[in-house]
Chains A and B, each alone.
Chain A
Amino acid sequence: MASKSTTGLFLRGFISTPKPRCSARPYHSYTHPPPPGPFTPVETAILSASLPHIPTHGFTHTTLSLGAKDASYIDASTNLFPRGAFSIVHYHLVTQRAALSKHKHILETSSQPGAKPPGIGAKVKALVWERLMANKGVIHRWQEALALMAQPSNIPTSISELSSLSDEIWFLAGDTSVDSSWYTKRASLATIYASTELFMTTDKSPDYSKTREFMDRRFEDSRVLGTVVGSVAEWVGFTAHAGLNVMRSKGVRV
């Protein structure tokens, strides 16, 4: 076991921080198995064992150590995570994104005759809501996560996770447009998600009804869903604007 950990440590030295591994997922193959995810089996074991400690200990090194202990690794194995507590945040983001495909009731078009199948827009909204609800258990600690995500060395991963989430939602909802609306759709959805997620950290209303209203208003405002932003100027302007908003919501001063 010790040798396994040292190898992991050794490898981490080469594949170290700035460039997130496998965050962008180009060429999704349907016949070849997917490439390995961003976490090694050891990392996965420790990180998944850490999750139950988040509500009490937050996104902290303590949580990581407790997770390592629970997964029966020595305390020093937390050295596997050069980015420390951010790895828990990253793990949460990756696994909750992957979990979206399990919401079959949203994704499957209802087979009832006569029932109008939900449109892409409705599916997008439902998936955003499911993703937000997946933060329910850790929402009182989420501002710690946001602070970690906004640290300069973690920003590339944070942004790329946010855009992967946005891409995942459009893909699952069945959107197939591959023109310049591809960018506006993802940018606007990322903005909506990030701002609603931030709103949710301060929401004390029952069943997060205030968050729901906030999200509905954001979707209303964007009006990008279902329409195509035609002009080049609008497209450039909107993308830049959305990018800025996303960074602001992550605590970057721009």
Chain B
Amino acid sequence: MALYSCGRSTLLAAHIPVYDFLAPSLINITRSTRSVRHLSTSAASNAQDASSNTPGSDAQSHPKRPSKPLTQAQRDFLTSALRVNQAGELAATLIYAAQTPPIVKAHPHLRPLMKHMYDQEAGHFDTFNSLLAKHRIRPTAMYPLWTVAASALGWGTALLGREAAMACTEAVETEIGDHYNGQLRYLLDMIEGMESRGEVIGEDLRELVGTIRRIRDEELEHLDHAVENDAKKAVPHELLTGVIRAGCKGAIWISEKV
């Protein structure tokens, strides 16, 4: 056991720098935002403070509503980003839902962890459901297909055992973490560009950055849990995670389009 936790912490340590790459760009862009990595829930309000505290155009224009419509490219990005996120969280809830019964039966001590991860995914799914409805974005046309595929993936990996199930989580959360980081980078670039042109940024955009950042942190927490629970011991680990990650990439690509 002690041996495991040793290996665990080095593994985790090895992971951290990968996700920290966003930190510098965050400091640059929302200037007065102090703590960078675990802003999670307070990010939106911090961003608001940032705009009212920063001297210059931002402070003056804060009470104003944005005067410029979002460009077609910006709306296209937001549309497909929210659509693909909803599809991903749908898949995540279904994977955990399908994995839980066989895993918990064989390893009762994992019940709280599985429930915790499922509950977070269900929360993510709700978040994107309401964002889609609010912003009038159609869900992916592949909805029925993803439903079937995700349930099959969860069920299949759970049957292969705890390590395979955790390897599935590891693979999925790695892709999802990268995916959310990519979106954050794009959104922050977009906001920076708008600010540099003196445009007012809509509150919904700032909130979205906060939401995605919080959810990304939770996905990475799931990744950590998976690695703690011997995801790397799944045989054949590389093949399994490679196939699942390729599947995730394909599903993301398709959901962004249809």
A residues apposed to B, CB below 8 Å: 25-36, 167, 171, 176-180, 182-183, 232, 235
Interface Cβ pair total, 8 Å cutoff: 78
Q: Is the CB of B79 within 8 A of A29?
A: no
Give the dominant DSSP class at A's interface. Answer: loop
Chain B, interface residues (CB within 8 Å), range: 20 to 34
Q: Is the CB of A29 within 8 A of B139?
A: no
The residue that B138 contacts in the complex, of A31, A33, A176, A182, with Cβ under 8 A, is A182
The residue that A26 contacts in the complex, of B67, B79, B133, B204, with Cβ under 8 A, is B79
Q: Is the CB of B202 within 8 A of A31?
A: yes
Q: Is the CB of A178 within 8 A of B69?
A: no
Given contacts A26-B76, A32-B66, contact A178 B129 (CB under 8 A): yes
Q: A30 contacts which chain B residues (CB < 8 A)?
A: 134, 202, 204
Q: Is the CB of A35 within 8 A of B72?
A: yes
Given contacts A27-B75, A35-B75, contact A179 B68 (CB under 8 A): no
Judged by a CB distance under 8 angstroms, whether B160 is at the interface is no
Judged by a CB distance under 8 angstroms, whether B22 is at the interface is no
The segment from B7-15, B35-43, B48-56, B141-149 found at the interface with A is: B141-149
Taken together as a complex, chains A and B put the C-alpha atoms of A125 and B203 apart, in Å, by: 34
Given contacts A27-B78, A180-B143, A235-B144, contact A167 B136 (CB under 8 A): yes
Taken together as a complex, chains A and B put the C-alpha atoms of A33 and B199 apart, in Å, by: 12
Given contacts A178-B86, A180-B143, A183-B141, contact A28 B70 (CB under 8 A): no
Given contacts A176-B130, A232-B148, A235-B144, contact A27 B69 (CB under 8 A): no
CB distance from B68 to the nearest CB of A (A): 7
Q: B133 contacts which chain A residues (CB < 8 A)?
A: 176-178
11 residue pairs of the A-B complex, CB under 8 angstroms, read A25-B136, A26-B79, A27-B70, A30-B204, A31-B202, A32-B66, A33-B66, A33-B68, A178-B129, A180-B143, A235-B144
CB distance from A23 to the nearest CB of B (A): 12
Given contacts A26-B76, A179-B143, contact A33 B136 (CB under 8 A): no
Given contacts A26-B76, A182-B138, contact A32 B144 (CB under 8 A): no
Q: A25 contacts which chain B residues (CB < 8 A)?
A: 136
With A29-B202, A33-B69 already in contact, 14 other A-B pairs whose C-beta atoms are closer than 8 Å: A26-B76, A27-B75, A27-B76, A27-B82, A29-B70, A31-B65, A31-B66, A31-B203, A33-B65, A171-B136, A176-B129, A176-B133, A180-B143, A183-B141
